[in-house]
Structure 1
Amino acid sequence: MSQERSGVATFKGSPLTLIGPELKAGDPAPNFTLNKDLLTEVTLSDYAGKIKLISVVPSLDTGVCDAQTRRFNEEAASLGENVVILTVSADLPFAQARWCGAAGVDKVVTLSDYKTNSFGQAYGVLIKEFALDMRSIFVIDANDKITYVEYLAEMAEPPNFEAAIQAVKELL
Structure 2
Amino acid sequence: MTIVEPQRPDLARELIARAAESAEHRAKRVRNQLDAVQLGQGRHADHANTKVLRRILAEHDWPGHSLVGPDGARAAWSIALHSDYEPDFQRAATTLLERAVQAGDALIQHWAHLHDRALINIGLEQEYGTQLLLHASGIELCPLRAPESLDERRASVGLPPVAVALSSVHHRYASDHRAEDALTGALAEAA
What is the TM-score when the length of structure 2 is the normalising length?
A: 0.27
The higher relative CO (CA closer than 8 Å, separation ≥ 6) is in 1
Bigger helix fraction? 2
> Larger % of strand: which?
1
The structure number with the bigger radius of gyration is 2
